Amino acid sequence: MVLLVKNARLLDPSRNWDGAASLLVADGVVAAVGEGVEKDPRAQGAEVVDAGGKLLLPGFIDLHVHFREPGQTAKETIETGSRAAVAGGFTAVCAMANTKPVNDSVAITELMLARARKAALCRYYPLGTVTKGAAGEELTDFGTLKAAGCIAFSDDGWPVMNAAIMRRALEYNGWLDMPVVAHEEDTNLGAKGYMHEGCVSAALGCLGIPAAAEEAMVARDIILAEHTGGHLHLAHLSTKGSFRMVKEAKQRGLKVTCEVTPHHFALTHKEMRRFDSDFKMNPPLRSEGDLEAILEALADGTVDAIATDHAPHTLDDKEVELSLAAFGVIGLETAFPLTLELLVNRKVITLARAVELLTSGPARTFHLDRQGLGGLAVGAQADFVLVDLEGKVTVDRAFVQSKSYNTPFKGWSLPGRILGTWVGGKRVWGE
Ligand SMILES: [Zn+2]
């Protein structure tokens, strides 16, 4: 099958391309890209998509989603999660291992990959757990899980509290060239907290999770990354001190990467005055100073990727007392509109940097660039998205494709409509 996308503005940060272009796809990969591609003899008889001057981008890559399958399919399935992904412009997702049971075995990895193949929407890369049962005590068989298709290892949802276990995980995965993804939270400091510890939690009388709970673990794991030479990837970083340490670690050439979520660059702990569990997640919404540090880290290159931490929950999980409600919010459909409005339109970063944080940045971080993801050079996978920068979306139940609707952005009107999403040259979203 040959597909020609013509009359587009192509923005591909992996090649510093921003300008008029056409894209020719054959057998699922990019056959030609640039100006004058229409005249390529291979374009004769191709199926044609007229982009109408709209923005064509490499497909977005999310390093952090929770698709809840196996075990909690009332919240999300691999199929519904994948539909939410492609609706949001994501053509590849990396799925966390805290399913029920957790993904600490080849059997679960294979089951996940089979369900993703059946859904046939986005590319799906499972993570395995760092420890058996994610119990923090005994390492999983990294080599076997890598061979089965795991892309990285994480006990996300929980930290690895035992430093000796984390040291071995970084060491062994260093040899395997695999990232260890850390959910950084000292659970003794975090205790029973369910929002950021600060002036708002004090005023509300709510138990807080201090910034130090994250920062103490970031400090420890950067030290272990240096000691072992392993690749430490820090998930959903949220505090000023964390970014300061990552920036310093990167300057010293350590293999440390990090991601931030849209909800952490959009909102602060002030929202907790609503007592609405749609604003409860872990790490929690932080202070204004932390949010400023996130924006600075996005702009100065400290952050490698924007990741959603898409964490669907049913109404039953959320419609309870704030202290008892589940942590987490969905984010696949709102990630690009929030990035566009809050980072690009408010001039925190350029559009090219924003796209980098959603495409080539995450691809490099998990080595997906080696599989032809994250950019649209000749020979790359034909994963792309067509976007209307001016087209508005309203966050309501019909807009959200996820099985769950636990978003803090209900009712928001944002720019950045996804007109179509293609994976391997096949249209998976849009008309
Ligand atoms: Zn986490």
Instruction: Return averaged pLDDT per consecutive 10 residues of the chain, 431 residues in all.
Output: 96 97 98 94 95 98 98 98 98 98 98 98 98 98 98 97 98 98 96 96 97 98 98 98 98 98 98 97 98 98 98 97 96 98 98 98 98 98 98 98 98 98 98 79
Q: How far is the CA of 296 from the centre of ligand 1 (A)?
A: 22
pLDDT value at position 238? 98
pLDDT value at position 1? 86
pLDDT value at position 191? 87
Count Cα atoms within 13 angstroms, Cβ side, for 115.
Answer: 22
The reply to whether 221 belongs to the active site is no
CB atoms within 10 A of CB 53: 9
pLDDT value at position 322? 95
154 three-class SS: strand
Q: How far is the CA of 284 from the centre of ligand 1 (A)?
A: 10
Q: How far is the CA of 34 from the centre of ligand 1 (A)?
A: 40
Which residue from 255, 266, 207, 257 is spatially nearest to 237, judged by alpha carbons?
Answer: 257
Contacts with 314 (C-beta within 8 Å, 6 or more apart), sequence order: 74, 75, 404
Q: What is the layout of strands, in order, in the sheet containing 256-260?
A: 153-154, 180-182, 232-234, 256-260, 305-306
Q: How far is the CA of 350 from the centre of ligand 1 (A)?
A: 28
Q: How far is the CA of 311 from the centre of ligand 1 (A)?
A: 10
Q: How far is the CA of 354 from the centre of ligand 1 (A)?
A: 22
pLDDT value at position 251? 98
**Rg of the Cα trace of the chain?**
21
Q: How far is the CA of 32 from the centre of ligand 1 (A)?
A: 39
56 vs 385: CA distance, rounded Å: 6
Rounded alpha-carbon distances, angstroms, from residue 5 to 87, 123, 162? 19, 21, 51
What's the pTM? 0.98
Q: How far is the CA of 27 from the centre of ligand 1 (A)?
A: 37
Q: Which residue has the tokens 């924007």?
A: 306
Q: Within 252-305, where are the H helices?
A: 262-266, 288-300
Cβ–Cβ < 8 Å for 406, 319 = no
Q: How far is the CA of 283 from the centre of ligand 1 (A)?
A: 7
30 vs 39: CA distance, rounded Å: 16
Q: Which of 290, 309, 317, 369 is catalytic?
A: 309
Q: How far is the CA of 391 from the centre of ligand 1 (A)?
A: 32
34 vs 4: CA distance, rounded Å: 12
Please give the structure tokens belonging to residue 426. Answer: 């096949």
φ, ψ of residue 348 to 5 degrees: the values are: -75, -45
Residues with CB under 5 A from ligand 1 (ion): 156, 183
393 three-class SS: strand
CA 75 to chain centre: 18
